[in-house]
Amino acid sequence: MANLIATPPFGDTLPVTVGATTITERPIERAASVAPFAGRAKAVSAALKQAIGLGLTGPGEWAAKGEASVIWFGRDTWLVIGAEVPESLQADAAVTDQSDAWACLRIDGPQAEAALARLVPLDLRAAAFGTGRTARSLIGHMSASITRAGGQGYDLMVMRSMARTLAHEVAEALQSVAARGA
């Protein structure tokens, strides 16, 4: 019988530390997209809340409880990370395994926001993108999910095949910012 071994998406490109800012992999053990069918969002939210303690969030918002988080992921779609989506939800929502579809890294530290401003066309100021906020946007030419993880940290997700490009681009932006000095 075959014995399959898991390979993480970033290879040897991470971690990267520049000054007090770090870029590290955020391994995703389990993730699924949840897209409620027409008129079923409330029911899905309630069922999810009962199962994992988190309901569906508003557009551009995310929430976490323990290991589990629910991230708004686009039109009518949420990503549930770190918790099993109950099978009963499948009557009311399209539930699709996304555990291996995305690569996630965290950039955290005093120069994280400045580095991201080199790559992301989003208003990252705290008033516009504070704690609890998430966005679907672009990192360079890569479609991405960008989440304010709290404090100075951001979680960045791109399609798994682009993981190494993501690590390279974020590291380069960070080094570029750091080279300016104080």
* Residues at the site binding another protein, with contacts judged by CB under 8 A: 1-9, 33, 35, 37-38, 59-60, 74-77, 93-94, 96-102, 117-125, 128, 135-138, 140-143, 158-162, 164-166, 168-169, 172-173, 175-176, 178-180
Helix, strand, coil shares, percent, the chain, to 5: 25, 35, 40
Q: How far is the CB of 124 from another protein (least distance, A)?
A: 8
Contact (CB, 8 A) for 149 and 143: no
Three-state DSSP at 143 gives: strand
**Of the two residues 8 and 15, which places its CB atom closer to another protein in the complex?**
8
Q: How far is the CB of 52 from another protein (least distance, A)?
A: 20
**Of the two residues 52 and 173, which places its CB atom closer to another protein in the complex?**
173
**Of the two residues 17 and 65, which places its CB atom closer to another protein in the complex?**
17
**Of the two residues 40 and 49, which places its CB atom closer to another protein in the complex?**
40
Q: How far is the CB of 172 from another protein (least distance, A)?
A: 8
d(CA 17, CA 14): 9
Compute the CA torsion angle 140, 19, 112, 176 (nearest 10 deg). Answer: -30
d(CA 68, CA 84): 9
CA 79 to chain centre: 9
Q: How far is the CB of 13 from another protein (least distance, A)?
A: 11
